[in-house]
Amino acid sequence: MHSAAPASAAPDTVEPRRRRAPEERPRQILDAAFHEFAEHGLAGARLDDIAKRANVAKGTIYLYFPNKEELFREMVRKSMVEALDRNEAIIAQHADASAIEQLTAIFEAWWKFIRSDRFVVVQRLVIGELHNFPDLMQFYSDEVIMRGRRVISSVVARGIERGEFRKLDPDVAARMLSALGVSHSIWCSRRSCFPALLTTTDEELGLQFFDFYLHALRP
């Protein structure tokens, strides 16, 4: 006859999931929010469901985030804004490189990022729902769209001064690169709707449109 397990043994199978370091909780909550936003959208996501997915009490969320709008802002900061930080770091690291080399290095990192799950979900929310959240739309425009264009336009302006690129409005050039990148990323995510892309890898597609873009910039 088997002896019963000690009474103190059972809780050990449960408690490790609950005993999480406080510094880990914001990340856990953000990860849960990401999945809830992906499945239900910004309007449809509920803090109760985010708390359940994160395995925390709903009240715990309020210790870090006052509402789901702030959760979205932090999700953008931890994905989009950090990607822009990396782009600015690339420019600093390649300070002595040509504008074409700088732009190529930025593009390679940026294209990889915009093909990530995080970008795809955020972009879907931006296109589909952010018009219903004016404050979030303004936040996204200021912190992501305009800042991203400033990064690219600064490199293009440098290339124009050095004779690497033809004379054109650097802001327009930045907008064109953003439009090409985002549209191609969306197409990659919906390849079944674009049969011509079924045999083209993400890397090949990125190189195709970036090569086209560079030729449009050259004198």
Of 115, 136, 126, 134, the closest CA to residue 41 belongs to 126
Bigger pLDDT: 1 or 215?
215
Tell me if domain 1-66 and domain 76-217 are identical in fold: no
**Buried-exposed string 166-195: b where 16+ CB fall within 10 A, e elsewhere:** eeeebeebbbbbbebbeebbbebeeeeeee
Bigger pLDDT: 138 or 3?
138
Q: DSSP letters along 20-34, please?
A: --GGGHHHHHHHHHH
Each residue's pLDDT tens digit, 66-123: 999 999 999 999 999 999 999 999 999 999 999 999 999 999 999 999 999 889 899 9
Here the tokens at position 135 are 């404050």
Residue type, 212: F
Rounded CA separation 180/41 (Å) = 25
Confidence (pLDDT) at 189: 86
Confidence band, pLDDT 50/70/90 cuts, at residue 196? confident
Confidence (pLDDT) at 23: 73
Class of domain 76-217: mainly alpha
Please count the CA atoms within 13 angstroms of the CA of 87 that sit on its side-chain side.
27
Could you tell me the residue ranges of all domains in the chain? Answer: 1-66, 76-217
As a CATH number, domain 1-66 is 1.10.10.60
Beta strands (DSSP E) in 23-105 are none
At a CB cut-off of 8 Å and minimum separation 6, what does 212 contact?
Answer: 180
Rounded CA separation 155/89 (Å) = 13
